[in-house]
Chain A
């Protein structure tokens, strides 16, 4: 064990020196050796203690018996929100209203998996988790997830749409909170964060009043909804006309379909 420890010390120093000298190849090689040494140390220790070794670098431990697969949980959260949303918000909503926290790592490959599944057997599932489309280029909007059963208008992102979606999400969160007999702390926290960023939704007192949030969100929505709506309708029409089924769900990557007059 002592010898492994000495090896680990030496390798740590080598990795650090390689990093400082800008020698990335050597640093990578040394790092790999270091991981090996650390694993060997852990195994020796486990043998001494007669316990199963903790595997370094393994995937995070499963939550005790999730009730639903990840795609179902994401679908639940998105259905509550009613608008395309980013990973962070989806996770926060799920934790607030559906109990268990979603592990972020599981969402990263979700979109790709869903697209592959759709292309392999289109419409074989009741819904797919898909992307939102940018209004100007009908390309996949970065970082957002949406539900395939929504009309394209709801899945299109124009310049004002991120804000509009945020306000609509606030309303849906507030309304869901009102339906809960005893709202969780996570739900209250989520509402507080929305309230802080919507003018007129926070009156300084704690806890935040959901009715106030709804009213304030509606008030600001009125400013943006007309213009946002027309951009979305125009984009949706273009998408129906020019994109195939898969592209309508997952965006167009190969061809850039700009609105006439903008130029790329």
Chain B
């Protein structure tokens, strides 16, 4: 069986979940987790799976946030991107004659992805080939990125624009920049998503014979300023994110080595009936999931729909307490072992001798301070 066929079998009789920049960006957050890699490569609906296994995930998007995001984007792009042009002119020195705008959302009423993508490719290639008069703003480009052997279509809500011969990815986010400062986590997430688009854009232009420098490693992040809707633009260097992404994507290329290790008939199919009600017993489903090894860390709670399932599975491991605490426990695998070393009831192997000594001192100090009840 080919790897693709095996992944299809693992996923079961449903169409694969589409990737988008957010899910690809999330791949970088836990590169060592085989369970996540396999599920994402196979396009499994992790939210459904977690719920049917008895561990519904805490994720969801508030429509207020979505509405605000859409409204902000619409406002910035209105009237041939009038506000965006101002930001690019004032902040980045975009010359006045460069205002050309192309909307790549539809191709004459036809929205097929292949058609949109090839039109995008054509227009961007033409822009790269000629001078400044070949296009400045490209709205709703449809890009493609190879992820785990699949071609994933990516639609940025952003625009790629050309300045001094280089394309820049533009990302519009509705979190605010207040007095010049924004939430660091949100900026980091936006940077990673932008990096996904940079990679995809570079891949597209590489196919037309252009080097990676045709796409700048600086993305333009457009956010509301202070408490209003007026936009402000910042340049964000995404080189670090690009490196991490490339590394993780190349790991996914070798998904076959992970798949080889799995039981041949493994499937995570929910056995849903015509109405969509899942028919597979949760315990059996959980058993199937567990044959794919995971690597749970508390950060999963913010990024992966399987988090509650994997957390329950990892009970008793020091990893559930977070990397810092695990390190402070001498990087011992389980809580039970750490306590055993601390109490002296467990004999340490040579490489754990130092950790054991440290834990024993800590145990003694706690006992003393708490009056023997530690």
Contact = CB atoms under 8 A, between A and B. Distances in A.
B89 A199 contact: yes
A161 B79 CA distance: 10
B85 interface: yes
B99 interface: yes
A17 B56 CA distance: 9
B324 interface: no
Contact of A20 (B51, B85, B101, B108): B51
Interface of B: 45, 47-48, 51-52, 56-60, 74, 78-83, 85-86, 89, 96-97, 99-103, 105-110, 115, 118-119, 122, 133, 135, 275-277
B105 A142 contact: yes
B47 A22 contact: yes
B78 A89 contact: yes
A117 interface: no
A140 interface: yes
B83 A264 contact: no
A224 B107 contact: no
Interface of A: 17, 19-25, 86, 88-89, 134, 137-142, 159-163, 165-166, 169, 196-197, 199, 220, 223-224, 227, 251-256, 262-264
18 contacts: A22-B51, A23-B48, A23-B276, A137-B108, A138-B108, A139-B107, A140-B109, A160-B100, A162-B81, A162-B101, A163-B80, A163-B99, A163-B101, A166-B79, A199-B96, A223-B96, A263-B122, A264-B119
A117 B279 CA distance: 51
Given A20-B56, A86-B79, A264-B118, A159 B102 contact: yes
Contacts of B79: 86, 89, 162, 165-166, 169
Nearest to A194: B82
Contacts of B59: 20
Contacts of A264: 107, 115, 118-119, 122
Q: Which of B59, B82, B110, B133 has the most CB of A within 10 A?
A: B82
Contact of A139 (B60, B109, B122): B109
Contacts, number: 99
B197 to A, nearest CB: 22
B interface: dominant SS: mixed
B86 A20 contact: no
Nearest to B52: A21
B85 A197 contact: yes
B214 to A, nearest CB: 20
Contacts of A134: 103, 108
A28 B107 CA distance: 33
B56 A224 contact: no
A148 B62 CA distance: 41
Contacts of B115: 264
Contacts of B122: 262-264
B97 A224 contact: yes
A71 B102 CA distance: 29
B78 A253 contact: no
Given A22-B51, A23-B51, A263-B122, A86 B107 contact: no
A82 B58 CA distance: 51
A174 to B, nearest CB: 15
A159 B78 contact: no
Contact of B100 (A140, A142, A159, A165): A159
Given A86-B78, A262-B122, A263-B122, 20 more contacts: A22-B45, A22-B51, A23-B48, A86-B79, A88-B74, A89-B78, A137-B107, A142-B105, A159-B100, A159-B135, A160-B99, A162-B80, A162-B99, A163-B99, A166-B82, A220-B96, A223-B96, A255-B108, A264-B115, A264-B119
A203 to B, nearest CB: 15
A264 B83 CA distance: 30
Q: 4 tightest A-B contacts by CB? A: A162-B80, A21-B51, A253-B109, A159-B100
Given A137-B107, A253-B108, A25 B60 contact: no
